[in-house]
Amino acid sequence: MPLSISHYELIAYLCGKIFDPMHTIPYGRQHITQSDIDAVIATLQSDYLTQGPAVDAFEQAFAQYIGCRYAVAVANGTAALHLAALALGFAKGKRIITSPITFSASANCVLYGGGQIAFADIDRQTYLIDLNQVESLLKQGGYAGIIPVSFAGYPIHAQDLHYLADRYGCALLEDACHAPGAWFSDHAGTRQMSGNCAYTDAAIFSFHPVKHIACGEGGMITTNREDIYQKLLLLRTHGITKNPQLMQQPNEGGWYHEMQILGFNYRMPDILCALGTAQLQRADENLLRRQAIARRYYAELSDTPLHLPTQAPADQLHAYHLFIVETEQRKALYDYLRQHQIFAQVHYIPVHTMPYYQALGFRRGQFPLAEDYYAHCLSIPMYHSLSDDEQSYVINTLHRFFELS
Ligand SMILES: *Cc1c(COP(=O)(O)O)cnc(C)c1O
């Protein structure tokens, strides 16, 4: 055995019979560098742990990265969905459409405010919400908004959605949790970043450790609309404003503030915002790494029975939050990978099949493409710090599964 062979190549060489039981390869994970740690420590030693300058700095850096006017940092992606839904009036008496293939928070956020959710089935190739399905719902009338998801990192075509939404008087809230850095080209040929809100009213992101930018917890709402922005600032902090220009009653002194609407404490602390700003410095580099990992999967898994994800056309950029393969043997493959310390995951169990949604009246069989997708899908490891050796091990293990089966 040549000494230069790596740990994982050795493992692969020994046909997966020996492995380090302490080392697992998840489907996604964070990457923390010394500069991240330094940024957090500096904030811990500063005057503000929350409501300080690191929040503004992160918001500004993020808005610049995405290319939108306003960014509002909040406690997590779900809080971002909640507040954006409220700010857009996706609440009591309103019916809103989303995809059944998403994290349940994309739908839950409408229910928080007393609104109703409807699902439109997916496009079986891209796994994104199918615009034809959306349109047939809209034709029935009575819908106030759409929450499209740039699923797995494949950007929604926000302009096409905008045409639809406009025609039927709907607002658009993009769930861009999977897609920071993704872009599509609009019909004029201009690159539009996911979540830049050029064709939507607002978008949201999450900084959970499995996402591109990892803060532990955290979220961001982006918008180009001043009215939405002001509403979000109020909603994030109890509905309280200290801005003298916005007071509705006479100012009674330096302490004076007003609670004007029913809001929440959904703030993101400075400690986490500093981590976010540090992480954001490496966003482009990390995106390139994710693309390289995807290219290698396409090249080295093409001879397996796996169905590999549809690649975005040349005028779009897939951000590869997830790398989803499809197989008839999903359960067996999931179990086999797990035995070999590879923790693949299923994204997602269709929201409408969850017990809570079944109790609301949704039925199995209602969105057959989403359900067929769910029966086959598996997210294999995809994160920017996945090493070449680790990826070799994943690829070899996948090959071995199909050799044995
Ligand atoms: C992660 C995620 C969320 C929720 O974000 P949290 O920060 O975990 O609350 C919402 N939608 C999608 C598509 C996500 O992937």
Residue 364: CATH number of its domain? 3.90.1150.10
What is the per-residue pLDDT for 6? Answer: 52
Q: Is the CB of 379 under 6 A from ligand 1?
A: no
> How many domains does one find in the chain?
2
Residues 13 and 65 in one domain: no
Specify the residue for token string 């310390």.
Answer: 341
Q: Is the CB of 347 under 6 A from ligand 1?
A: no
Residues 40 and 180 in one domain: yes
What is the per-residue pLDDT for 16? Answer: 47
Please spell the DSSP secondary structure of 4-15, one letter per residue: T--HHHHHHHTT
Residues 195 and 309 in one domain: no
Q: What is the mean pLDDT of residues 217-242?
A: 98
Q: Is the CB of 103 under 6 A from ligand 1?
A: yes
Residues 40 and 25 in one domain: no
Cβ partners under 8 Å of residue 71, min gap 6: 59, 60, 62, 63, 220, 221, 222
Mutation to probe ligand 1, out of 29, 83, 208, 379 (largest number of atoms < 8 A from CB)? 208
Q: What is the mean pLDDT of residues 89-113?
A: 98
Residues 176 and 293 in one domain: no
CA angle 54, 67, 279 (to 5 degrees): 40
- 199 secondary structure, DSSP code: S
Q: Is the CB of 149 under 6 A from ligand 1?
A: yes
Q: Which of 219, 248, 280 is the last residue of a domain?
A: 280
Sign of CA dihedral 317, 323, 326, 327: positive
Residues 400 and 264 in one domain: no
Atom 5 in ligand 1: residue holding the nearest Cα? 77
Q: Are 76 and 236 in contact (CB under 8 A)?
A: no
Instruction: Select the highest-mean-pLDDT range: 5-14, 174-183, 242-251.
Output: 174-183
Which tokens in the block code for residue 404?
């044995």
**Band of residue 23 on the pLDDT scale cut at 50, 70, 90:** confident
For residue 137, give its domain range.
34-280
What is the per-residue pLDDT for 130? Answer: 98
**Atom from ligand 1 closest to the CA of residue 78:** 9
Residues 287 and 215 in one domain: no
What is the per-residue pLDDT for 405? Answer: 78
Q: Is the CB of 370 under 6 A from ligand 1?
A: no
Q: What is the mean pLDDT of residues 45-66?
A: 98
Domain-embedded: residue 1: no
| Residue 19 pLDDT > 60 | no
Residues 103 and 251 in one domain: yes
CB atoms within 10 A of CB 313: 9
Backbone angles phi, psi at 41, to 5 degrees: -60, -45
Atom 4 in ligand 1: residue holding the nearest Cα? 77
Q: Is the CB of 206 under 6 A from ligand 1?
A: yes
Domain-embedded: residue 372: yes
Q: Report the relative pairing of strands 258-259 and 323-326 from DSSP bridges.
A: unpaired
| Residue 217 pLDDT > 50 | yes
Domain-embedded: residue 240: yes
What is the per-residue pLDDT for 21? Answer: 60
Q: Is the CB of 241 under 6 A from ligand 1?
A: no
How many residues does the structure list for the chain? 405
Q: Which of 280, 303, 338 is the last residue of a domain?
A: 280
**Average predicted confidence (pLDDT) for the chain:** 95
Residues 247 and 330 in one domain: no
Measured CA distances, 6 to 11, 29, 290, 300, 388 (Å): 9, 22, 22, 19, 10
Give SS3 for 80: helix
Q: Which of 247, 280, 313 is the last residue of a domain?
A: 280
Which carries the bigger pLDDT value, residue 15 or residue 319?
Answer: 319
Task: State percent of the chain over pLDDT 70.
Answer: 95
Residues 221 and 291 in one domain: no
Task: For residues 59 and 50, give the distance between their C-alpha atoms in angstroms, rounded to a whole number.
Answer: 14
**Atom from ligand 1 closest to the CA of residue 79:** 9
Q: Report the relative pairing of strands 95-98 and 70-74 from DSSP bridges.
A: unpaired
What is the per-residue pLDDT for 7? Answer: 53
Residues 321 and 275 in one domain: no
pTM: 0.95
Question: What CATH number does residue 133 fall under?
Answer: 3.40.640.10
Domain-embedded: residue 229: yes
Domain-embedded: residue 2: no
**Atom from ligand 1 closest to the CA of residue 208:** 7
Residues 127 and 275 in one domain: yes
